[in-house]
Amino acid sequence: MAMCVAVAAIPAVHAGDQSGLQPVISTTGEFLDFDWPAIRTASASYEEGPTGVTVFHFPERAYVAIDARGGGPGTDNAPYMQLGYDIRELDTIVFAGGSWYGLEATTAVASALKDDGIRDGNVFGKDPNLAMSVGSIIFDFGDRRLNEIYPDKKLAQAAFRAAETGRFPLGAAGAGRNARSGYFFGCNAHSGQGGAYRELSDLKIAAFVVVNAFGAVTDREGRIAACYGHPEWPADVHIADVLEHFPASRESGWAVTSGSDEMPKNTTISLIVTNQRMSPADLNRLAAQVHTSMARAIQPFATVGDGDVLYAVSTAELDEPAMYNFDLATLASEVMWDAILASVPEQPQGRVPSEGPLHQPGELAEFAGDYVFSETATLRVTAQGQKLFGHAVGSRNVFLVGKDEPVELLPVSVTGFMVPGRYPMSLEFTAPGTLVVNPGRWQQVGTRR
């Protein structure tokens, strides 16, 4: 997947201070490679979050329509797109994490277009040159990380200036850096961004998506693509299984909720692009049909807890239709399903506790202390004899470790521990005074106070 930053470079960040964060451009991992110079893309992240931003740049501009569904869409410039002007003026589409705060990324990219001399303030004459940047956000706060870092102007402009043709990072990158899916069934699976591309003679179709869905990603055989299922679930669970037994499938004994008492906030933001010229009305119908089709790949889809938004774009390079619009929309729907499936990253697996003692008497006391992850999240580690315990003493839980009472941290190695539960939680003391929770792609780093 995208570049992983060394633990030592990811200290706890205090609220409101992002000045020391450095953008990381996604340059390694899995990519969708495609041949289409009319689309430039880049993804960047703040690994300290982790959270990120994804930019789509159309150097020759394009036509755009929007279809919004679900209970909480967050977008910039949506009303203007809905007016349906037959004007080729779209410069960029920006997807970002950070909930409402991430909308800063959209206007930041517009500013970069002006600052770099690509656009200016002219709105008169035959060819207005005002930058048009639109975008949407996902919610990636809450119980998925221990801080409130968001994609800001610096991160968005770094992504825009790194945009290139023909390569799109898949999985936990860009705006999908800390996405999740399947909260509806308690799956709480890691998700990300996906892409797919199809060429038929001169016709080109590309689909891009960030899946942060309340529902579960479902493959074409009806299997749930990623899920931390309840222990009593079948190993190869199908979406039909949990839907057939709904609502019992969400209750204790059949499935367990994520343990969060906050209102789920989930979203799938997507983009379908074709090079076939389309009228505003046809582009709107393309958006509606492809968006409707996504209910096959994400079940349930567009709930009150989602903020789903789809952008349909025509680069208008192909003047003569290569395909009837309803056929194009049907094919585009299949490409979008491919993109959704490509968004699923490899899921971390739980660690197995040691069967025998690993520490000498008194050694565990070296790990004791208060480890600060942010101004709202602190984990107090205490040693009691030959056992180590964790207790959240900030204003929030530290994943499976709550505020009510200490939880035993079971050893898996001399410096590694785990907390048993439906969702994997690992702890690694990597250096004196440094604790890494869930080492790897979604790690959180605390410093002993």
Residues 26, 50: contact at Cβ < 8 Å? no
Structure tokens at 414: 């001399």
Element (H, E) at 99: none
Contacts of range 76-83, beta carbons closer than 8 Å, 24 or more positions apart? 76/103, 76/106, 76/107, 76/133, 76/134, 76/135, 76/136, 77/106, 77/132, 77/133, 77/134, 77/135, 78/134, 78/309, 81/134
Place of tokens 């977008």: 75
CB 323 within 8 A of CB 276: yes
- Give me 388's structure tokens: 């180590």
Residue 111's contacts (CB-CB under 8 Å, 6 or more residues apart) are: 131, 153, 157
Handedness of CA 108, 116, 177, 287 (dihedral sign): positive
Listing DSSP states for 115-146 in one string gives: HTTS-BS---SSS--B--EEEEE----GGG-S
Q: d(Cα 154, Cα 145) in Å, to the nearest integer?
A: 21
Specify whether 268 is catalytic: no
Q: What is the DSSP letter of 362?
A: T
Q: Which of 443, 405, 431 is nearest to 147 (CA)?
A: 443
C-alpha–C-alpha distance, residues 288 and 5, integer Å: 39
Determine which one of 106, 218, 267, 378 is catalytic. Answer: 267
Which residue's structure tokens are 């891009």? 208
Token couple for 348? 């971390």
Point out which residues pair with 137 in neighbouring strands: 96
Q: What is the DSSP letter of 411?
A: E
Place of tokens 């203007």: 80
Which residues are identified as catalytic?
A: 267
